């Protein structure tokens, strides 16, 4: 039997399962795990770190990194993405951004959406992709 198969013949993708776990793992545990993997396999650690990025990583961004993210993502997408975030985070994020961008984001955040949950999920996925890209290019820091 192949190592990637279970007794029932179902394929298990170990990397995908690890990535899912990393996305919900507490930050301290995640950091320890990455340090341990980094010692043995730096390439795997980098790949897992990039793929384990979730929308919640936006809360880790400092003001400079948040501005870098927003220079690379449309204001409407950002506004829809933060729509379901806490009011506290919305205020913090929007007040740290250039006024015109923040106003456009705010209008998108408050706009009526037909498929609100789908729209938010799609906007957040775009934000996550951009965070991953900027992190890979070392233009923002997630640590």
* Average pLDDT score over the chain: 87
pLDDT band at 13 (very low <50, low <70, confident <90, very high): low
Say whether pLDDT at 38 is over 50.
yes
Say whether pLDDT at 12 is over 60.
no
Domain spans of the chain, in order of start: 13-52, 54-142
CATH for 54-142 is 1.10.220.30
How far apart (Å, rounded) are the C-alpha atoms in residues 78 and 75? 5
CB proximity list for 61: less than 8 A, separation 6 or greater: 69, 131, 140, 142
Summarize pLDDT for 55-99 with one digit per residue, the tens: 988 998 999 999 999 999 999 999 999 999 999 999 999 999 999
CB proximity list for 38: less than 8 A, separation 6 or greater: 45
| pTM of the predicted model over 0.85 | no
């Amino acid at each position: 039997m192949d190592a990637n198969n279970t007794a029932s013949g179902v394929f298990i993708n170990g990397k995908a399962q690890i990535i899912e776990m990393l996305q919900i793992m507490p930050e301290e545990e995640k950091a320890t795990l990455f340090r341990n993997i980094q010692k043995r396999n730096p390439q795997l650690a980098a790949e897992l770190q990039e793929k384990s990025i979730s929308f919640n990583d936006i809360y880790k961004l400092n003001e400079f990194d948040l501005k870098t993210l927003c220079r690379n993502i449309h204001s409407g997408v950002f506004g829809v993405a933060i729509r379901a975030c806490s009011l506290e985070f919305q205020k913090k994020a929007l007040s740290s951004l250039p006024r015109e961008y923040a106003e456009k984001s705010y209008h998108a955040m408050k706009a009526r959406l037909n498929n609100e949950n789908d729209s938010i999920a799609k906007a957040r996925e775009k934000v996550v992709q951009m965070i991953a890209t900027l992190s890979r290019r070392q233009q923002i820091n997630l640590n």
